[in-house]
Amino acid sequence: MKQVNKWLVTTTVMLPLFIVIMDSTVVIVSLPHIQGSLNVSLNEVTWVLTLYIVATAVTILSAGWLSNIFGRKNYLLFSVLLFAISSLACGLAKSLTLLVLFRTLQGLGGGGMQPLTQSILLETFPKKEYGMAMAIFSMGIVVAPIVGPILGGWITDNWGWPWIFYINIPICIISIILISLFIFDPSYIRQHIRKIDWSGLIFMIIGVTCLQIMLDRGEIKDWFSSSLIVYLLIISVIFFVGFIINELKTKQPIVNLKIFKDFSYSSGCLIVFLGFFAFFGSVVLLPMYVQKLMNYTAFWAGLVLGPAGAIQIILLPIIGLLTKKIDCRILLVVAIVLNAYALNLMAHFNLYADFWSIVYPRIIQGAGLAFFFTPLAVVTFIGIKREAMGNATAIFNFLRSVGGSFGIAFVSNTFSHRAQFHHFHLSEQLSPTHIGFQQTIDKISHLLHLSTHQAHYLIYQELERQSSMLAYNDAFFINSLIFLGLLPFLFLLKKTL
């Protein structure tokens, strides 16, 4: 394989990865504009997000296999080209059906970028520099989702929503040129596939599709009270079991599950699944908390989340260097303690908290995530051979992505049930026959010059806020316990120094 400067390779693969990850969030702020332009309901327009996530998940898991069939450079070029063409088509789409179709193609093009980029970086940098390689990879994953909503909002307001897709095209063209010049396949990448594992492919596509749609639409459909969600769960379980059995028996599988024999790798995969399960759940809850209960605007809610991204950008290069000096398992202890502490602080929020009291735990959490991902990636892949890296990164990134989806679904369901629980118990004290309640109604009516009906409504609103606050706190606390529960698994990881 031709030797290319590692920083040229890094720039080449990080550029398309950045635009792909940014595109997963840039559309969120534009949904109301797309909804109005295409004259569809909010429930219908969210399929623009759902099928993009589904296509991305399917492609992430199969990225290593596709690289072996077509060659990694060819597959990377095809992925960027497909992403560019589908971006153009999304901007030109005049109906929701076409937009959803082209967003699905966009997901198929962009999904493979994450495992491909990670595997290329791990193969380009020597093992002693894995920490720096993963710090750079993490910075792309951290910065892009922060830039996405800000850039998407500005472009949509000033140029119109189609331009959130058009801006991808020049960056994709530059990426194609750079990939053509600086990315080369090592000798072990292009394997001769005698027989395509069609049964495994079908099992994987149907299983992943049903799982992601279930997780994404579960809250809208009220989870298992919906027969659709129940059917999706049953189908996904059946096809995932079939997929696992098939992959273990097939000589040339799409995903080589035998890699889980490496105990450190399998432990790292479990930790990344549970870690991002707890992390993404809290990331979804926090802006909802401040906007719905504390009347923050979208801009101020963004300011609550923003400092965590800034602290990660500062810390990640430092942590990349620390992985050369300190055993990664020790850094992971710091990460878990910081994340658990931050979530525990969030579990004690109240409706009178000031801005700093909300931002401070988020900054701690940002530092915790910086200490989490880079050392975990290093210790997970430290024992993996380079020829198996594509398969290993595909599984790792798939579990990270699915862990986040499960976490979001879990906290949404937990919040709903705990809000009902607290509402029931708090309302027990608001009986019309309760003397204290009647006295409070009389005082509110007198002081605020309200009718009895208006005073009742005011108390009911406060009951809803307090119930929701307690439910949010419960969800934060559960996620803090999940992080603490990761500590014993660190003993299963390999020592890096």
338 and 423 together in one domain: yes
* Angstrom distance (rounded) from CA 32 to CA 236: 31
**What are the Cα distances from residue 486, in Å, to 139, 245, 365?**
24, 28, 16
Place of tokens 């892009």: 144
Query: Nearest CA to 90 among 104, 74, 79?
Result: 104
pLDDT for res 461: 73
Domain-embedded: residue 331: yes
pLDDT in tens, the chain (497 residues): 567 788 999 999 999 998 888 887 777 767 778 888 888 876 777 788 788 888 888 898 888 888 888 888 899 999 999 999 999 999 999 898 999 999 999 999 988 888 899 888 988 888 888 888 888 888 887 778 777 777 777 888 788 889 989 999 999 999 999 999 988 888 777 655 667 788 888 999 999 889 888 888 887 787 878 888 899 999 999 999 999 999 888 888 888 888 998 889 999 999 999 998 988 888 778 877 887 888 877 667 767 777 887 888 889 899 989 988 899 999 999 999 999 999 999 999 888 888 888 899 989 998 998 899 889 999 998 888 888 888 898 899 889 888 888 888 888 888 888 888 887 877 776 666 666 666 676 677 767 666 766 766 677 777 788 888 899 899 999 999 999 999 999 988 988 87
pLDDT of 301: 73
Verify that 108 and 210 share a domain, yes or no. Answer: no
| Among 261, 271, 258, 245, CA closest to 396 | 271
Are residues 103 and 21 part of one domain? yes
Measured distance CA(245)–CA(453) in Å, rounded: 63
With vertex at residue 496, the alpha carbon angle to CA 491 and CA 497, rounded to the nearest 5 degrees, is 115
Cβ atoms of 329 and 496 within 8 Å: the answer is yes
Q: Is 358 inside any structural domain?
A: yes
Residue 198: inside a domain, yes or no? no
Residues 88 and 210 placed together within one structural domain of the fold:
no
Are 358 and 396 members of one domain?
yes
What does the pLDDT read at residue 190?
A: 61
Domain membership flag for residue 487: yes
Domain for residue 40, yes or no? yes
**CA atoms of 249 and 246, how far apart (whole Å):** 5
Is the same domain home to 208 and 285? no
φ/ψ of 297, rounded to 5, equals -75, 170
Is 256 domain-assigned?
Answer: no
Max Cα–Cα distance, the chain, nearest Å:
84
Q: Which tokens is 149 given?
A: 């909503």
How many structural domains comprise the chain?
Answer: 3
Say whether both 235 and 323 belong to one domain: no
118 and 232 share one domain = no
E strand map for 276-359: none
238 and 364 both lie in a single domain: no
Residue 131 CB neighbour total at 10 angstroms: 28
> CA of 39: how far to CAs of 88, 95, 447, in Å?
21, 9, 47
Report if residue 199 sits inside a domain. Answer: no
CATH number at residue 46: 1.20.1250.20
3 state SS for 174-197: HHHHHHHHHCCCCCCCCCCCCCCC
Task: Report helix angle 452-484 to 328-346, nearest 10.
Answer: 170
Residue with tokens 């966009």: 106
Q: Are residues 113 and 231 in the same domain?
A: no
205 CA to centre of own chain: 20
What is the pLDDT, as a whole number, of residue 373? 87
Identify whether residues 171 and 275 lie together within a single domain: no
Answer whether residue 433 is part of any domain: yes
Instruction: Dihedral sign for Cα 343, 344, 347, 352, please.
Output: negative
Q: Which of 143, 160, 193 is the last residue of a domain?
A: 193
Query: Do residues 96 and 141 share a domain?
Result: yes
- Give every CB contact of residue 418 below 8 A, 6+ residues apart in sequence: 470, 471, 474, 475
- Structural domain for 96, as ranges: 1-193
